[in-house]
């Protein structure tokens, strides 16, 4: 998929965004395309083409790149340009360090939980598994975990989780295309939700911690073999 196809729906929209917000808007757009799996690790992000497609200036685009570089989602290679990042082992460890703070806490302390979105994500993951669609299964699993953090009712925490999950998508693209990685977690998500809805929040949180620690080990082992 070309940059033109990926951003076909956005041509010129940057010009309609207030100048003070265009850098954040451009970063959000690029982050969203990474999270959706449309921009994969190693993709070169042409400044000239993106400025035209997004309707922003080079300075605005570079501001967006700087934001995404801090989030470890893009990397500037001297004399070559800006590329979608390839996560390192340290990146994986940091991702899961953040997730172990966010997700169990949301399960423990959410004030007024509405779990419809979590059930919907599990059903999408099961359907994707039955179809053999690894990308859709991974995406639905990520939606489940975003929904877990959303239980906290905090826009800031949800925004942090969105950044983390966008970086997770890069991890999956770099190392995990095997359905055997994603498939078991679909039913584990359902088990965590069942304990949460039964009022066993401490147990649900403990299951989430175990889940995240195991996934981290698997990804680090895959990274070491790559």
Residue 43 has which token pair? 């993709």
Shared domain for 112 and 138, answered yes or no, is yes
Which CATH number does the domain housing residue 193 bear?
1.20.120.530
| Per-residue model confidence (pLDDT) at position 102 | 97
Identify the pLDDT of residue 19: 60
71 and 137 both lie in a single domain: no
Q: Are residues 62 and 98 in the same domain?
A: no
Q: Which residues contact 160 (CB under 8 A, 6 or more apart)?
A: 98, 102, 149
Question: What is the reported pLDDT for 17?
Answer: 62
Q: Model's pTM, two decimal places? A: 0.81
44, 64, 84 — which closes off a domain? 84
Shared domain check, 203 and 93: yes
Q: Which domain holds residue 67?
A: 3-84
pLDDT at 173: 73
Q: Looking at residue 168, what is its pLDDT? A: 87
Same domain, 157 and 170: yes
What's residue 35's pLDDT? 80
DSSP classification of residue 45? -
Q: Are residues 100 and 170 in the same domain?
A: yes
Structural domains in the chain (count)? 2
The CATH number of whichever domain residue 68 belongs to comes to 1.10.10.10
Sign, CA dihedral 194-96-28-185, equals negative
Same-domain status, 18 and 94: no
Provide CB contacts within 8 A for 113, sequence distance 6+.
151, 196
What does the pLDDT read at residue 20?
A: 57
Report the distance separating Cα 150 and Cα 115, nearest Å: 10
Domain boundary among 48, 66, 84: 84
Residue-level pLDDT at 152? 93
Please list the pLDDT of the chain residue by residue as tens digits (226 residues).
677 777 777 765 555 666 657 888 889 889 888 887 788 888 999 999 999 888 889 999 999 999 999 988 899 999 899 999 988 999 999 999 999 999 999 999 997 778 999 999 999 999 999 998 888 888 899 999 999 999 999 999 999 998 898 888 888 775 555 667 888 899 999 999 999 999 999 999 999 999 999 999 999 988 888 7
Q: What is the pLDDT of residue 32?
A: 85
In a 10 Å sphere around its CB, with 0-12 CB exposed, 13-18 middle and 19+ buried, how is residue 144 labelled?
buried
Task: Give the end of a domain, one of 84, 113, 148.
Answer: 84
């Amino acid at each position: 998929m070309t940059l033109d196809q990926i951003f076909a729906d956005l041509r010129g929209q940057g010009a309609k965004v207030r100048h003070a917000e265009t850098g954040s808007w451009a970063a959000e757009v690029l982050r969203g395309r990474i999270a959706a799996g449309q921009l994969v690790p190693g993709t070169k992000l042409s400044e000239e083409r993106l400025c035209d497609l997004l309707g922003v200036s080079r300075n605005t685009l570079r501001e967006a790149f700087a934001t995404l570089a801090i989030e470890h989602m893009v990397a500037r290679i001297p004399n070559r340009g800006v590329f979608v990042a390839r996560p390192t082992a340290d990146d994986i460890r940091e991702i899961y360090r953040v997730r172990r703070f966010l997700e169990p806490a949301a399960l423990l302390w959410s004030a007024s939980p509405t779990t419809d979105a979590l059930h919907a994500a599990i059903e999408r993951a099961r359907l994707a598994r039955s179809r053999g669609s690894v990308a859709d299964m991974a995406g639905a699993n990520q939606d489940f975990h975003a929904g877990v953090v959303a239980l906290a009712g905090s826009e800031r925490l949800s925004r942090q989780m969105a950044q983390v999950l966008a970086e997770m998508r890069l991890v999956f693209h770099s190392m995990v295309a095997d359905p055997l990685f994603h498939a078991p977690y679909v039913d584990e998500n359902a088990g965590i939700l069942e304990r949460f809805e039964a009022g066993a929040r401490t147990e649900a949180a403990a299951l989430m911690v175990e889940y995240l620690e195991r996934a981290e080990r698997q990804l680090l082992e895959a990274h070491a073999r790559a």
